[in-house]
Amino acid sequence: MLIVNFDTHTYVKKLLSAGVPERQAEIQADTFKEVIDSQLATKKDIKELEVSLKQNIKELDLKIETVKADLKRDIKELEIKIEAKIESKVESSKADIIKWVAGMLVAQGAIVATLVKLLSRVP
């Protein structure tokens, strides 16, 4: 419950001395009291909010740390998969290059053999 030191009686007396009609002064004092009671926050209200916000921040920090750990794990898993794929592609490419070089050597051998035959026929 909000407890504010608002003296409605003193407020009404000040309004009356300023020439405000008594009924209007009373209604105005009651209205201000209602607004104060329903709208203003006390130091206790603010402290409770602060405690609640601090707790929410701690919970969010824990969630953030969990998400960070999960992301690090996921990134590491992706790095391992990518490295494995790259290694596989490199090995596949090496095999393809070796086959190509071997084919080129066989072709060069055939060309040399053909040239030797042709040159051996030349008088």
Q: Are 25 and 12 in contact (CB under 8 A)?
A: yes
pLDDT at 4: 62
pLDDT at 63: 98
DSSP class of residue 18 equals T
pLDDT at 3: 57
pLDDT at 87: 94
pLDDT at 66: 98
Here the tokens at position 104 are: 């080129």
What is the per-residue burial (b if ≥16 Cβ within 10 Å, else e) of 80-98?
eeeeeeeeeeeeeeeeeee
Residues of the chain with pLDDT under 50: 1-2
Question: How confident is the model over 42-70, as pLDDT tens digits?
Answer: 888 899 999 999 999 999 999 999 999 99
Domain spans of the chain? 1-40
Distance, in Å, from the CA atom of 123 to the CA atom of 120, rounded to the nearest integer, reads 8
Q: What's the pTM value of the predicted model, to 2 decimals?
A: 0.49
Q: Considering only CA atoms, which of 35, 36, 33 is closest in space to residue 9?
A: 33
pLDDT at 123: 74
Q: Considering only CA atoms, which of 40, 42, 35, 13 is closest in space to residue 26?
A: 13
Distance, in Å, from the CA atom of 39 to the CA atom of 32, rounded to the nearest integer, reads 10
DSSP class of residue 3 equals -
